[in-house]
């Protein structure tokens, strides 16, 4: 019986090894290739033509969102499942806009990744349960997020700024120059009409990019 082939994209080798074991324990699936960056994922996809891509969003250099766009531009039928730590609805919206078919957060139980993978392989859109609840809440509120006006990389940089990372730290995380991160920060503030990093943090929390970790009484 032919097995469904998987391209696993994550910049952490230990993480890839762990999820490779999980995925290959499932009957009918095999990981045929791995990649640690968006550009490498695009190159490997063209070489291997896997049935499904499981991709993280936080990658060095070009983001996973850019990787999704590249692959979908090459193959409009590509089936891409995002598997990431980013839990906010804005990240999911950007991923689906780029061409992803599924979105699962890394805080989800392993069985949710497997269920989503099975759905995506059938061409059916899938999201993890925690994200589905957030999407439903956002839809029922009827409010449009100001983050919708940001580009994918800007959303990613905003989330990292709001998490408390320094410009140098973000630059290292994304394999970009500090000057580029400063330019992104200025662009984000201009688009959102925000002056301070404190306001950026509050906006990120209120729009689900990061958790509010303030202690409760």
What are the residue boundaries of the structural domains of the chain, listed by start? 4-139, 146-206
Q: Give the model's pLDDT for residue 215.
A: 39
Selected from 1.10.3290.10, 1.10.10.10, 1.10.760.10, 1.10.10.60, the CATH number assigned to the domain covering 146-206 reads: 1.10.10.10
pLDDT digits (tens, 9 = 90+) for 99-126: 999 999 998 999 999 999 999 999 999 9
Q: Give the model's pLDDT for residue 138.
A: 65
Indicate if the alpha-carbon torsion angle 92, 95, 96, 102 is positive or negative.
Answer: negative
How many C-beta atoms lie closer than 10 Å to residue 128's C-beta?
Answer: 24
Q: Give the model's pLDDT for residue 112.
A: 93
Q: Give the model's pLDDT for residue 214.
A: 44
d(CA 54, CA 118): 12
pLDDT, averaged across the chain: 86
Domain 4-139: homologous superfamily in CATH: Response regulator (3.40.50.2300)
Highest mean pLDDT among 38-42, 136-140, 173-177: 38-42
Q: Give the model's pLDDT for residue 143.
A: 62
Q: At what angle do helices 152-162 and 167-174 cross, to 10 degrees?
A: 130
Residue 80 has pLDDT above 80, yes or no: yes
Q: Give the model's pLDDT for residue 139.
A: 64
d(CA 48, CA 121): 16
The answer to whether residues 57 and 80 touch, using CB atoms and an 8 Å cutoff, is: no
Of 141, 38, 167, 151, the closest CA to residue 90 belongs to: 151
The answer to whether residues 161 and 185 touch, using CB atoms and an 8 Å cutoff, is: yes
Q: Give the model's pLDDT for residue 197.
A: 81
Residue 17 has pLDDT above 50, yes or no: yes
Q: Give the model's pLDDT for residue 211.
A: 52
Lowest mean pLDDT among 68-72, 145-149, 178-182: 145-149
């Amino acid at each position: 019986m032919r097995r469904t082939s998987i391209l696993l994209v994550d910049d952490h080798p230990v993480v890839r090894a762990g999820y490779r074991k999980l995925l290959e324990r499932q009957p009918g699936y095999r990981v045929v290739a791995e990649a640690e960056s968006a550009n490498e994922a695009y190159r490997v996809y063209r070489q291997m033509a896997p049935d499904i891509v499981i991709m993280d969003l936080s990658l060095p250099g070009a983001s996973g969102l850019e990787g999704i766009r590249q692959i979908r531009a090459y193959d409009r039928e590509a089936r891409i499942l995002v598997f990431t730590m980013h839990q906010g609805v804005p990240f999911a919206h950007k991923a689906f806009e780029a061409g992803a078919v599924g979105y699962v957060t890394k805080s989800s139980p392993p069985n949710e990744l497997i269920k989503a993978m099975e759905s995506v392989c059938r061409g059916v859109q899938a999201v993890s349960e925690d994200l589905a609840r957030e999407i439903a809440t956002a839809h029922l509120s009827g409010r449009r997020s100001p983050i919708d006006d940001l580009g994918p990389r800007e959303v990613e940089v905003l989330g990292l700024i709001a998490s408390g990372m320094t410009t140098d730290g973000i630059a290292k995380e994304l394999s970009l120059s500090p000057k580029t991160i400063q330019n992104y920060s200025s662009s984000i503030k201009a688009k959102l009409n925000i002056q301070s990093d404190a306001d950026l943090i509050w906006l990120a929390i209120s729009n689900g990019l990061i958790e509010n970790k303030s202690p409760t009484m």
